[in-house]
Amino acid sequence: MHQIIIQYINKHNIEPLTKEEEVLVVSSFQLKKLRKKQYFLQEGEVCKYTGFIIKGAMRQYSVDENGIEHILHLYTENYWATDRESSVMLTPSRYNIDAWEDTELLVISRAEMLELMEKIPALVRMFQKLDERNSIASHRRLNSSISSNAKERYREFAENHPQFIQRFPLHIIASYLGITKSTLSRIRAQ
């Protein structure tokens, strides 16, 4: 299990982790298994953990006053799942994160992660790169949602995230794109 996260860290760095650093990673991340629809985080809780997905699929979403889900993030293998705002600010989360499939992930608390980053500078560099990519992706998604039509949004989504189309049903993808399920069905039929 832990070999997957070590490979991931090494892939995102110029130099591989030393054996000592690998031991620190293994001892810091704990395996957690979630059944389909089991919560990793519920709205109103403070997010205490970050999870690295080894196997499975998850989603982060809010539910409005009419009971409609609004998908913020979709996650599959090699994705990090957390509510960063809640974790950093120690405030109750506005979101739910649950397993869409049976999921295995390696989890770490924020305090443990910060301690690990002090001991392993490669993690700092990796997270800086990931933060940059996440910021770019967020800006692109925001721009797409305000300037592209539904067909363009779906095309871009399918090009950038083909794995999600195989793993999540239409209504989840439609919510992620900010369109209705019927609109997405029409687009896919074309």
- Tell whether domain 2-120 is in CATH 1.20.120.530: no
H helix intervals, the chain: 2-11, 19-28, 84-89, 110-119, 121-147, 150-160, 162-167, 170-177, 181-189
pLDDT of residue 188: 87
How far is 80 from 97, CA to CA, in rounded Å?
12
Rounded to whole angstroms, the maximal C-alpha distance in the chain is 54
How far is 40 from 93, CA to CA, in rounded Å?
12
Domain assignments of the chain as residue spans, ordered by start: 2-120
How far is 119 from 81, CA to CA, in rounded Å?
22
pLDDT of residue 20: 96
Report helix angle 110-119 to 121-147, nearest 10. 120
Q: What is the DSSP letter of 35?
A: -
pLDDT profile of the chain (190 residues), mean per 10: 94 92 96 98 97 98 94 96 96 98 97 96 92 91 89 92 93 94 89
How far is 43 from 165, CA to CA, in rounded Å?
26
pLDDT of residue 18: 94
pLDDT of residue 190: 83
